[in-house]
Amino acid sequence: MTDSPALIVDETGTQRLVGYTLDVGQPDRQARCRLLVDDRHTNRHGVLHGGIAAMLLDSACGATASLTVDDSGRRPFLTISLTVDFVGAGRPGGVTATGRVVGGGRSLLFVAGDLVHDDGTLIATASGVFKRVPGGTGAENG
């Protein structure tokens, strides 16, 4: 993903703190949130912390919603609800969360997501509802 024409890096405090990147330049218009998991991201069991997994899915799904109205992927959508199911351990290494729009209309979108380890292991799935923010610039997104 490093060759993406639309890779968002260090745009928000959350990105700088956690260290993930957001790719909004893929032809399928599905945003991808990428993190190299190391010991800063793991829980006491040595696997990816569930809160960080949920944050990656939330970011990928929200940016995917944004891509429906803005090619830059920076138009803000607020998360109304997000349900995450943890199905596998997120071991250290690369993980990618990908969003996909599954329904909705002008102001509310239903977006699903998957978080997958580089070795192909499915770590978590998500489904969420995202609300379009009228007139937002994206700078306030987390």
Q: How many domains does the chain have?
A: 1
In a domain, 142, yes or no: no
Are the C-beta atoms of residues 31 and 60 closer than 8 Å to each other? yes
Within 10 angstroms of residue 130's Cβ, the number of other Cβ atoms is 28
Are the C-beta atoms of residues 101 and 119 closer than 8 Å to each other? no
Mean pLDDT within 122-137: 89
φ, ψ of residue 13 to 5 degrees: the values are -60, -35
Q: Domain range spanning residue 28?
A: 7-132
Cα distance between residue 22 and residue 57, in whole Å:
11
Q: pLDDT per residue over 55-109, tens digit each?
A: 999 999 999 999 999 888 888 899 999 999 999 999 999 999 999 999 999 899 9
In a domain, 109, yes or no: yes
In a domain, 28, yes or no: yes
In a domain, 141, yes or no: no
In a domain, 139, yes or no: no
CATH of the domain at 53: 3.10.129.10
What is the band of 5 on the pLDDT scale with cuts at 50, 70, 90?
A: low
Radius of gyration (Cα) for the chain, nearest Å?
A: 14
In a domain, 140, yes or no: no
| Predicted pLDDT of residue 136 | 57
In a domain, 72, yes or no: yes
In a domain, 125, yes or no: yes
Cα distance between residue 100 and residue 65, in whole Å:
8
How many Å from the N-terminal Cα to the C-terminal Cα in the chain?
21
Within 10 angstroms of residue 105's Cβ, the number of other Cβ atoms is 8
**pLDDT exceeds 80 at position 138:** no
